[in-house]
Chain A
């Protein structure tokens, strides 16, 4: 990835946005994934406008129809249009993981930064808690928590947040231990900044790149976790639509050969997760020069 010598003066002038665009053009997979994400977000936001049917309108006469020009993705046992339901489900399936990731990222990086910078008892306490929470596979912890807290959207956000927070704390703390010994940290200390200010204003921004990569990958994982919870009946419940819950409903129709009912919601999950993972990988190549050789 060495920049040719003749490019050096240009490189100094170009803005970060242009640098990003330059890289994206050379990386069609990431660019494609970004387009898919924009399309998904658009579909979720505009669901009431673009959905061909009311997602909750039942129609006994149109029950269990296979894919057709009228119902692109078929209908379920109540005659509800599956495409419309998948589009509306995208709102929940994108919003809940996004809210959870955003909260976990914020709280986790602040906690990790302070624990890592201050060290001592506080650090020990935080890290032992993190160890204990990380001893549970995320899905198992989420299962237990969602059974304990209940199934509302707010609780699901809380469950997914708790399940992923320790990863950020650990990540940012590790980075913090590295950067707090650097000269610019020493410089910030020497002019008498309070320690919270050094940790959050001077050091934290320099720890962000790996965190952003982690958050993108965690988005995909959160979508999967939520779908699995709903599939097991521990997340969003009928009659609300959610991809995992729709897959579970479709699974019971599989016996009689109605393949479209389990296939398409699962496909929606896969495409979404795949997209976030591809963007995460692209971001890692972009932000973490150490990983560039390996891919």
Chain B
């Protein structure tokens, strides 16, 4: 008993080597850069840290809206011309332009854009003729389902792989992990997806046709969450559940494979570092059982830095979505955005870019706040 208390005390008092933080700052875009300029003092409270972190999001979001506005401003083609139709007279086009506010100065258009955003007005899609927000909400569950599934898959495989690689350093597990990691980063996501389709659908026939979220002869489950897998399970519709899981498997595996590598790498590096730290040496010296030292004391402390990579992983997932949804004809917002990009449909493009950025900023904010809550070194310095 006393031994365990001793080890836990060591675990609490020994700071991690500084590299954990620099590795984190290198991986995570947010926060890391500022810390050296305004060193976090011992007296700074958690509340102050949270407030400062929340406020730091404001200029970022302002910049984000500016960029997404300018993207559309730069897009070739006149939206009024598209809206007025091919047979419109120049006078009518001018009239439409006036109604859409396109004749106003740029800063005024930007003001209208931002005030529209606050009212939930994301503009209109020229190709579907519907408000972008409606189109978005309709497709969001598909993207959410895919993203969550691949995140779970990546964490479930990547983290244990990294941890095992660190514990069994320089054995076959470590080498396998390294090969998967190196390949996962280098393989283009669309190509991984095509390989999966070719082998598992065309050659072996295990996977269903890569076309959407359900087999074509089934109708979607009752709408509860919008995630087919969850809805089907909740309503006890086992055929739909089976089909939606089968459809989800390949795209989720593709996306997970592309983000597994950074996760496994981070898990391995963190775990190695902790295994070499003083308090683990103390635990060995105290004669604690191996299982307890490695998977109790070491792993528990390694999990925190691993959580911080999730913010970056999420960014990769959002970008990968666009590609994977295109390959698998997955009816999500990534697919919607790619179609819009091809037809230069400005409303959806702008909204997609903005949406991804806002999600990315929020996830990183959440990660930082969680980190500050669980790790006192961040706010106490």
Contact = CB atoms under 8 A, between A and B. Distances in A.
> A and B bound?
yes
B182 interface: yes
Contacts of B349: 144, 147
Interface of B: 19, 25, 29-30, 32-33, 36-37, 56, 59-64, 66-68, 71-72, 74-76, 182-183, 185-191, 194-195, 197-198, 202, 269, 272-273, 315-316, 318-320, 322-323, 326-327, 337-338, 341-342, 344, 349, 352-353, 356-358, 360-361
A147 B36 contact: no
A271 B191 CA distance: 13
Interface in A231-279: 231-234, 244, 247-248, 251, 254-255, 257, 259, 262-263, 266, 269-271, 273-274, 277-278
Contacts of B323: 139, 228, 231-232
A277 B64 contact: no
Contacts of B197: 254
B194 A234 contact: no
Given A149-B74, A227-B188, A128 B60 contact: yes
B257 to A, nearest CB: 13
A50 B119 CA distance: 60
A265 to B, nearest CB: 8
Contact of B194 (A138, A178, A254): A254
Interface string A117-140: 001000000011101111111111
Contacts of A135: 60-61, 63-64, 357-358, 360-361
Contacts of A127: 33
Nearest to A221: B185
A144 B37 contact: no
B319 A231 contact: no
Contacts of A87: none
Nearest to A177: B36
Contacts of A139: 319-320, 322-323
A179 to B, nearest CB: 12
Given A131-B59, A254-B202, A262-B198, A232 B353 contact: no
Contact-size category for A: 35 or more
Say what secondary structure dominates the interface of chain A. helix
Interface of A: 119, 127-129, 131-141, 143-145, 147-150, 170, 173-174, 177-178, 220, 224, 227-228, 231-234, 244, 247-248, 251, 254-255, 257, 259, 262-263, 266, 269-271, 273-274, 277-278, 290, 294
Contact of A247 (B59, B74, B190, B269): B190
B136 to A, nearest CB: 15
Contacts of B272: 294
A270 B337 CA distance: 26
Contacts of B322: 139-140, 143, 232
Contacts of A177: 36-37
A231 B323 CA distance: 8
Contact of B326 (A227, A232, A255, A294): A232
Nearest to A128: B59
